[in-house]
Structure 1
Amino acid sequence: MSAQGLEVIDHTVQLTHEWINELRERLDWGSSRDAARLLRVTLALIRDHLNNEEMAQLSAQMPLLIRGMFFEGWQPAHTPVRDRNAVHFIGAIEKQVGDVQGWRGLEDIVAVFRTINSKISEGEVSDVKAGFPQSIRDMWPD
C-alpha cells in the first residue's frame, strides 16, 4: 500500500516513468525532461490528426499522466487538422523540440512511434495509423 493510500496515483507515476525512460533509452538522451517533452509534443500532434472517437480509444490505453499530456491544450474545434503533410508534421515537432541537444529529427520521432508501439495494443496502433495520410504512416514503423 502506498504511504498516502493513493495507489492509483503511485501506479500512474510509475507507468509514466516507464514510458519516458523507455523513450529516453531509445533516443540515447541523458535527459528524461527532454524525452518527456518530445513525447508530449508528438502525442499532441498525433491527437490533432485523429477524430474524437479514435482519440478516446487511444488515450484509454495510456497511463493517467500520459493521457493528461495527450489532452493538454486540446482544442476540439480545431481537430482533426486539415494539414496532413509529413514535412509539416515533422516541422511542427521540430519547432518545439529542435533546440534539444542531440535532436535528430525524424529518427527521434520514429523513437516515439516505437515507444507507442510497445505500450499500446497493435490493433489500436493500426487504427491510429489508418487515420494518417500515407506519407506519415510510412514514417511509423510496424
Structure 2
Amino acid sequence: MADTGFSSFDTMVDKVNRLLKDAEEAFEWPKERRKQPYAALRAVLHPLRDRLPVETVVQFGAQLPAIVRGVYYDGWKPAETPVKMSNEEFLARVRSEFPYAVEGGSEKLMRTVLKNLERHVSAGEWQHLKSRVPNSFAALLP
C-alpha cells in the first residue's frame, strides 16, 4: 500500500497500481518494464475518449480513478470530438500510440486494458458507453 501520508491519495495510488499490475500480469511483462502498462492505458484511453460524444466522455471519465481520469483527459479537445473512426482506424491509432511490441496485437491490448477499466466503473455506465457507439465498435468492447 502506498504511504503518502494522506489516505485518499494512498487509495488513488493503490487503485492505479492495481490497474497497471493487472496489465503487467495479463501480458506477463516484467516489473522493470512498468512503463508499458502505463503506455497501454494511455494508448487505449485517448482514442476511446476521442471516439465518444462529449457527454459520454464526461460521464465515463467521472467514474475513473482520479489519477486515471487525469491521463484520460490529458490533451483532450472537446470541440474536436467525437472523431469518426472505423474499428481498423481505432486499432491503428492504439497501435501508433503504444510504442512497444505486444503479443496478440492492438485488439488484445485494447480489450485487456478496457476489461481492467471495466472493474472501476458501474455496470450501468459501461452499458451506457457501449450504447453510445456504433454496434460494430461496441462489439470490440468487453
TM-score with structure 2 length normalisation?
Answer: 0.87
Q: Which residue of 2 aligns with 1:125?
A: 126
Q: Which residue of 2 aligns with 1:72?
A: 74
C-alpha distance in 2 between matches for 1:27 and 1:133: 28
C-alpha distance in 2 between matches for 1:18 and 1:58: 19
Per-residue deviation, 1:4: 5.5
Runs of 4+ in 1 over 6 A off after TM superposition: none
Q: CA RMSD in A?
A: 1.8
SS at match of 1:102: coil
Segments of 5+ residues of structure 1 without an aligned counterpart are none
Per-residue deviation, 1:52: 2.4
C-alpha distance in 1 between matches for 2:102 and 2:43: 17
Q: Which residue of 2 aligns with 1:46?
A: 48
C-alpha distance in 2 between matches for 1:28 and 1:5: 32
SS at match of 1:105: helix
Q: Is the 8 A contact 1:86 1:136 kept in 2?
A: yes
Q: How does 1:1-142 map to 2 (within 5 A)?
A: 5-30=5-30, 31-81=33-83, 83-97=84-98, 99-103=99-103, 104-141=105-142
Q: Report the number of matched residues.
A: 138
Deviates more, 1:48-57 or 1:84-93: 48-57
C-alpha distance in 2 between matches for 1:110 and 1:4: 32
CA separation of 1:3/1:140 partners in 2, compared to 1, >3 Å: closer, same or farther? closer
**Equivalent position amino acid for 1:73 in 2:** G
TM-score with structure 1 length normalisation?
Answer: 0.87
Q: Is the 8 A contact 2:42 2:72 kept in 1?
A: yes
